Structure 1
């Protein structure tokens, strides 16, 4: 199965001020997520930021809103982002997932997407948890549930399809 750009949206889950400082491998997460989000913008993939209980966990960190090109977000109280973003992803087949925490909000969103006929695409270098064992467990569960596991660079080039275009030049610049 190949991920088709026109049939794809992305959910950017809970990269919030009070959560990010305690994420495992935070610097790697931020760097890969920056590349992913900038690349998705180049490829015209619609992306939607969620925030879990903003009053308590703060806003999305600046590095992520800058990479996403927006500070707009959808507030959620449920751990899953599915219901909050459903109006935005209708008509899409593939939903790219990135964010935190892998074993809670990201995984529950993935499960709801699967249950409702979407193909979740989990970008493994753009998710994290406080503990790496929780991330590892989330990856095993996601794979068992039928999610597509990929990396930032892999999914961007899959969506790109061809080299030699203006978009491919921009993507290549991002990943170098």
Structure 2
């Protein structure tokens, strides 16, 4: 199944100032996620950021808001982001593919993914743009995501799939990002 740009949106989950320092491979997570979000922005894919208990966990890290070109977010207290995202951004229900990235992979990301499948969406989990504090939680979340019927991919594979062809201004932007 090809992920089609016009039918895709992204939910960017809880990349917050007090959570990121505890994540496994945090530097790689931020680098990969920045490229993903800049690429989605270049391709015109709408994105919704979430933050869990902002007062205690802080704002989304600056590198990612800069890459996405927005500081807007949906405040949530549920682990799954889906209900709060749909309530605040009802247009997202018109999409088929929901691209997921963020933390923690085995809690908020996974529970959002499960709710997406239950609502007949196709969750697209960007495996090199999610993390957990413990590597075993991350690995187990990927297994569960596959069992739930998610598409697993990497940021580079996804960006080129959404791009579809070379020789365009967009393709030049994406190629510069992934180099």
Query: Which TM bucket (shorter chain)?
Result: over 0.9
Instruction: Using the TM superposition, give the Cα deviation of residue 84 of structure 1 relative to its aligned residue in structure 2, in angstroms.
Output: 1.2
The correspondence of residues 55-134 of structure 1 with structure 2, limited to 5 A, is 55-86=55-86, 87-134=90-137
Once residues 139 and 91 of structure 2 are traced to their aligned partners in structure 1, the CA distance between those partners, rounded to angstroms, is 29
Task: Supply the distance in 1 between the matched residues of 2:33 and 2:164 (Cα, whole angstroms).
Answer: 21
Question: What is the CA–CA distance in structure 2 between the aligned matches of 1:89 and 1:141, rounded to whole Å?
Answer: 24
Q: Secondary structure at the match of 2:12?
A: strand
1:146 is aligned to 2:149: yes
Task: After TM superposition, give the deviation of residue 88 of structure 1 in Å.
Answer: 4.0
Deviation at 1:90, TM superposition (A): 1.1
For the residue of structure 2 that corresponds to 1:173, the secondary structure is helix
* Moved segments of 4+, more than 2 Å: none
2:11 aligned partner: 11
Residue 37 (structure 1) aligned with residue 37 (structure 2): yes
CA RMSD of aligned residues (A): 0.5
- Which deviates more from structure 2 when the two are superposed, residues 139-148 or residues 85-94? 85-94
Q: In 2, distance between residues paired with 1:153 and 1:18? A: 27
Unaligned runs of 5+ in 1: none
TM-score, normalisation: structure 1: 0.99
**Closer, same or farther: CA 35–138 of 1 in aligned 2, 3 Å:** same
Q: Secondary structure of the residue that 1:137 maps to in structure 2? A: helix
SS of the residue corresponding to residue 90 of structure 1 reads: helix
The C-alpha deviation readout for 1:54-96, integer Å capped at 9, x for no partner, is 1111111101111111110000000000011112411000000
Number of aligned residue pairs = 176
CA distance in 2: counterparts of 1:17 and 1:84, whole angstroms: 21
